[in-house]
Amino acid sequence: MGDPSGGEDGTGKYPDGTPIERLLPLKDRPCPPEKDLLHPGYPNFINGEYGERPLQPPLGILDKNGNNVIYPTLLEAANFVPNFAPGALYSETCPCKCRGKVKVFELAVVQADIVYNRYGWHDLQGRFFVLKEDIERHGILENYLEKVNCGKIRPEPLVIRANAGDCVEIRLTNLLPEFIEESPFQMKTLTDIIGFHIHLVKFDTIVSDGAANGWNNIAGARKYETLIGAFTQTRS
Ligand SMILES: [Cu+2]
């Protein structure tokens, strides 16, 4: 049965039954392998149910003790690239084959009362990215948040910089409350999974996109989990 919203429902057909044509690589690129049971083509190797929330990426989520949370199915693993790594399972994003030299950034998302200007405009439930080492400099998370709340620390927008050709791994830990509470500006809202979406770098869109587009995994961390994303700053 077709998807009434008109999206790809995994049947390979448009809602009116017309088969969706194969996507072919450009002429100077190698063709993908022929379809077989273990290589049914995207999205059919992705673990998920049509109409359900997408699953988080295999090998890309760590629990608070640093253990992998999601193991790949046989079908997923059969479609990994030879040099797969967490955050880069289906396309090889790090061309230098020097995994040991990957730059790792450890980030967290936290919530505190953040002030936006000198008039004191502020958001009691301000959410922002911070380097984990900046939190650790103040001991435990509560100490850090307390210093933000009382104005001793003024958080700034976080920017990741990398040189052309660098391979970057970002480990993002969700240290947020699971809800944004009701306020004069919004309803109480479940915010139980967080990620980040980036542009202008090379990455595996299925597992490191930060969003849940179509059949892709939802590249996000639940409370206390860490999401691993892999990116390459391309040479322009
Ligand atoms: Cu985008």
d(CA 206, ligand 1 centre) in Å? 13
* Cα 213 to ligand 1 centroid, rounded to whole Å: 10
Kindly give the distance from the C-alpha atom of residue 114 to the centroid of ligand 1, in angstroms, as a whole number: 27
Question: In this predicted structure, what is the pLDDT of residue 26?
Answer: 94
* Structural domain span for residue 183: 100-109+159-232
pLDDT of residue 99: 59
pLDDT digits (tens, 9 = 90+) for 51-98: 889 999 999 999 999 999 999 999 999 999 998 999 999 998 887 666
Domain count, the chain: 1
| Distance from Cα 198 to the centre of ligand 1, integer Å | 6
Q: pTM of the prediction? A: 0.88
Strands 167-174 and 103-115: parallel
What is the per-residue pLDDT for 152? 95
Residue 25 lies in a domain: no
How many Cβ atoms are within 10 Å of 68's Cβ, its own excluded? 13
State the distance from the centre of ligand 1 to the C-alpha of 158, rounded, in angstroms: 18
Report whether pLDDT(100) > 70: no
Q: How many CB atoms lie within 10 A of CB 43?
A: 16
Q: What is the per-residue pLDDT across 208-231, written as a single tens digit (0 to 9) for each?
A: 998 888 889 999 999 999 999 999
Positive/negative CA dihedral, 105, 109, 110, 113: positive
Q: What is the 57 CA–ligand 1 centroid distance (Å)? A: 18
Per-residue pLDDT at 5 exceeds 60: no
Q: Determine the distance separating the centroid of ligand 1 and the alpha carbon of 170, expressed in angstroms.
A: 17
Tokens of 59: 């090998």
Q: Using the 8-state DSSP alphabet, how is residue 10 labeled? A: S
- Convert the pLDDT of each residue in 132-181 to its tens digit: 999 999 999 999 999 999 999 999 999 999 888 889 999 999 999 999 99
List pLDDT tens digits, range 182-209: 999 899 999 999 999 988 899 999 999 9
- Residue 94's pLDDT is 82
Give how far the C-alpha of residue 202 lies from the chain's centroid of Cα atoms, to the nearest Å.
14
- 126, β-bridge pairs: 112
Q: What is the pLDDT of residue 60?
A: 97
Distance CA 148, CA 146 (A): 5
Which pLDDT does position 31 carry in this prediction? 86
Other CB atoms within 10 A of residue 198 CB: 15
| Per-residue pLDDT tens digits for 10-27 | 778 888 999 988 888 999
| β-bridge mates for residue 170, sequence order | 105, 229
Sign of CA dihedral 123, 126, 131, 133: positive
Report the separation in Å between the CA atom of 205 and the middle of ligand 1, taken as the mean of its atom positions. Answer: 10
For residue 214, the CA-to-ligand 1 centroid distance in Å is: 13
Is the Cβ–Cβ distance between 174 and 165 less than 8 Å?
Answer: no
DSSP string of 143-156?
HHHHHHHTTSS---
Residue 197, in any domain of the structure: yes
Kindly give the distance from the C-alpha atom of residue 200 to the centroid of ligand 1, in angstroms, as a whole number.
9
> Please, what sign has the CA dihedral across residues 62, 68, 69, 70?
positive
In a domain, 90, yes or no: no
Separation of CA 210 and ligand 1 centre (Å): 9
Q: How confident is the model at residue 7 (pLDDT cuts 50, 70, 90)?
A: low
**CA of residue 143 to ligand 1 center, whole Å:** 35
